[in-house]
Amino acid sequence: MTARSPAGRVRLRTAALGVALVCWSATDCGDAAPGRLLVTSGGTDQVLVLDAASGAIVDSVSLDRRLGERDEPHGVAVAPDGRHWYATLAHGEPSLWKIEADGDRVVGRLTLETFGASRVRLSPDGDLAAVPDYWLSGGGQRSRVAFVRTEDLSLLGAPELCAAPHDAAFSPTGGLVAVTCALDDRVLLVDPHTLAVGAEVGVGPGARPMNAAWTPDGERVLVTLMGAGEVLVIEVDAAGTARVADRVGVGARPAQLAVSPDGRRVVVADRGDRSVSVLELGVDGPVTDAVVERVALPGANPHGVAFGPDPRVAYVTWEGDSSSLGGVAAIDLERAALLWTSEAGQYTLGIAWTRD
C-alpha cells in the first residue's frame, strides 16, 4: 500500500508550551486521574513512583545489581489485578523483576539468557510476560523473545524470532502477540502458547518498527515506524490474517504509543521532535479520518506513553540528554495541554499507571 502524504490527510496543531499548566499540588490538577505512575530511570537504576495527580515523586525502588555500573531499568508493566508490577533490567544481567505493589517490595527476579531486555508486556489475564531482546549490536542476527510465567517467573520458552525485536504486545484476547522486528523491518504475529509465528507483515526497508499497541476490539494493531516517522495500521481478522490498512504520518522518530481505554485516541511519543502526536481515531471511524494534534514537551527525547482509567489523560516520559534530566508529563487530551510536568530521573524510559 502506498503511503499518502501526512499533510494531505491530517491537521497539525501545536499546544504552546508557554500556556501549559504546571501543577505543584494535587488540587491544582483536578482533571488528572488519581493513582501512581511507575517510571524507569535508566541512568540511576531505579523505578520512580510518582503521584499521578501532581507528578510529585513519592517513592523509588532500586534495581541496582552492579554498584557503579549503569544497568538501565527499561520497561515496566502492571498486572491486571494490580497486586504486582514487573520491570526489566537491560544490561549487566538482563532480567525480569517482580515487585509486590503493597509496599513496592521485590519478590522475584529471573535472569534471562539474552543479550538485553527491552519492554515487558503482560497477557490480559496477567499469567504470561513477554520480554524481547533488543540486540542492536548483533549485526542483524536473530534474537529472542522470552515468554515467562508470572506466578513463579519460570521461563516457558525463548524462540529466536527476528533481528532486534523491541516490543511484544499481547492482543486484547491474549491469543496473539505482535512482535516488532526493528532491524529486519517486519512485524510478526506470534501464538503465545505454541510460540509459533503466524502472520508476518513487511513494513519497508529502513522503516524500523519499534513499538506496538492494539485497539481494544483487537481488530487493529498500530506500530510506530521510527525510521519513517509514521504509525503503521495493521488489520487482523478472526483467523489471524494480517494486512496493512494505512500509514499515518506523525512526528520524527516515533517511539512508544498507547491507545486510550475507550479506543478513541492514540498518543505517540515523537522522540525526534520533543512532542507527542495525538491521533483521533473515533470508536468506529476509519483511520484515514484521523486528526493529529501536536503537544510540545519541555524535555528532550520523548519515549514512553501510558494511560490510566481516564481516556482524557495521557502520561508521557522524556529521556533527557547529556545536559538535562528526564521527566514525565500529564497531558489533557481534550485541550491538547499539559496538566503538569515533573523532572524525574535520568534517561527516563518506561511508564505504567497503577492504582494507589
Lookup result for grid cell 506513553: 305
What per-residue confidence (pLDDT) applies to 356? 85
pTM attached to this predicted model = 0.91
Domain ranges of the chain: 6-354
Residues of the chain with pLDDT under 70: 1-33, 282-291
Reference 240, options 218, 211, 257; nearest CA is 218
Question: What is 6-354's CATH number, 2.130.10.10, 3.40.50.300, 3.30.230.80, 3.40.50.1820?
Answer: 2.130.10.10
Strands 313-318 and 302-307: antiparallel
What per-residue confidence (pLDDT) applies to 290? 64
Burial 150-183 (b: 16+ CB within 10 A, else e): beebeeeebbebbbbbbbbbbbeebbbbbbbbbb
- CA-CA distance, 122 to 214, in Å (whole number)? 13
The per-residue pLDDT for range 208-240, each reduced to its tens digit, is 999 999 999 999 999 999 999 999 999 999 999
Cell of 197: 509465528
What per-residue confidence (pLDDT) applies to 26? 37
- CA-CA distance, 300 to 298, in Å (whole number)? 7
Reference 222, options 198, 251, 240, 247; nearest CA is 247
The per-residue pLDDT for range 274-285, each reduced to its tens digit, is 999 999 885 554
- CA-CA distance, 15 to 278, in Å (whole number)? 11
- CA-CA distance, 248 to 147, in Å (whole number)? 31
